[in-house]
Amino acid sequence: MQSSNPVLNRSSAFAPGQGQAYPGAAPYGQPGPYGQQPGQYGGPGMPPQQYQGAPAGSRPMTMDDVIVRTAATLGVVAVVAAIAWNMIPVSLVTPAFLGGALLAFVLAMVLSFSRRINPALVMVFAAAEGVFLGIGSKFIANWVGDSGIIVQAVLATMVTAGLTLATYKYFAIKVTPRFTKMVIIATMGFAGVILINFVASLFGFNSGIGGFGPMGLLFAAIGAGLAVFNLILDFDMIEQGVKHGAPQSEAWRAAFGLTVTLVWLYWNLLRILAILRGGD
């Protein structure tokens, strides 16, 4: 079983059914190789003294590792977005917006298909994504006539992600192969439509998918829904990675995958709010 997020697909740590457990991993709920109990969040155990002294790339990943690195990556996105919003001159808005989007896309592809994650590239990706989001968010805020909509979108993203995680944990959602396959197919189909629409728009065809009309609202709602389903898959894959002793370095891959999904969720929620509010 694999995540629909291609970032997490590149490592067997997030698809334990397809590979070997990492060194030091113990069967979930069973004592580890030194007789120690399973670690925090159900992860594999390791003697505290060995865990503390182990190299970062060799000791097992914990949920805390994922949280810290995700916070750092999203922090870069937010800081760069604020800089882009306030400091990029009007004459450079369009090239910066397109350049940020293109660089983020290229780096996302490179990182998604890399067997080893590069933390520096993850941060460069976050910066490029920040430029794209900063300029795009400012455009939407100006169209609506209220910059407060950005705060609303951020809060909506946080609440949606939190509720998704709570639902996944407390209702014990089972991520079955069929559910995973359906989300993957739907996500790929949605991405294909968006790509075709973008290419068509270069030739003057306007379907309204990327606009602020009814069609734009429909596709933004579909995109937000798919982002929520992808979050469920990503939460499950990260949990599996922790359980099966993925190395601590894989936390960067998990952080990147979550950042991709959360940014996608934010952008679609922002568009939904903007369309419902209407422009000046």
Tell me the C-alpha distance between 5 and 231, whole Å. 9
Residue 33 has pLDDT above 50, yes or no: no
Residue 127 has pLDDT above 60, yes or no: yes
Q: State the residue range of the domain holding 168.
A: 61-277
| Range from 2-16, 40-54, 186-200 that averages highest in pLDDT | 186-200
Which residue matches tokens 């350049």?
A: 99
What value does the mean pLDDT of the chain take? 81
Q: Report yes or no on 15 lying in a domain.
A: no
State percent of the chain over pLDDT 70. Answer: 79
Which own/partner contact pairs does 27-36 have at CB distance under 8 Å and 24+ positions apart? 28/243, 28/244
Q: Report the 10 Å Cβ neighbour count for 279.
A: 11
Query: Which range has the worst mean pLDDT, 10-14, 34-38, 214-218, 220-224?
Result: 34-38
pLDDT digits (tens, 9 = 90+) for 148-171: 999 999 999 999 999 999 999 888
The predicted pLDDT at position 228 comes to: 95
Q: Report yes or no on 47 lying in a domain.
A: no
Q: Report yes or no on 4 lying in a domain.
A: no
Residue 107 has pLDDT above 80, yes or no: yes
Residue 267 has pLDDT above 90, yes or no: yes
Q: Report yes or no on 260 lying in a domain.
A: yes
Tell me the C-alpha distance between 114 and 62, whole Å. 22
The predicted pLDDT at position 7 comes to: 52
Q: How confident is the model at residue 134 (pLDDT cuts 50, 70, 90)?
A: very high
Q: Report yes or no on 3 lying in a domain.
A: no
Helices (H), the chain: 6-9, 48-53, 63-87, 93-112, 119-144, 148-170, 177-201, 214-243, 251-277
State percent of the chain over pLDDT 90. Answer: 53
The predicted pLDDT at position 274 comes to: 95
The arithmetic mean of pLDDT across residues 100-124, rounded, is 91
Q: Which SS3 state, helix, strand or coil, does residue 175 take?
A: coil
pLDDT digits (tens, 9 = 90+) for 189-201: 998 898 888 788 7
Q: Report yes or no on 103 lying in a domain.
A: yes
Q: Report yes or no on 131 lying in a domain.
A: yes
The predicted pLDDT at position 8 comes to: 55
Residues 2, 8 contacting (CB under 8 angstroms):
yes
The predicted pLDDT at position 26 comes to: 38
Q: Report yes or no on 104 lying in a domain.
A: yes
Phi and psi, residue 60, nearest 5°: -65, 145
Please state the domain count of the chain. 1
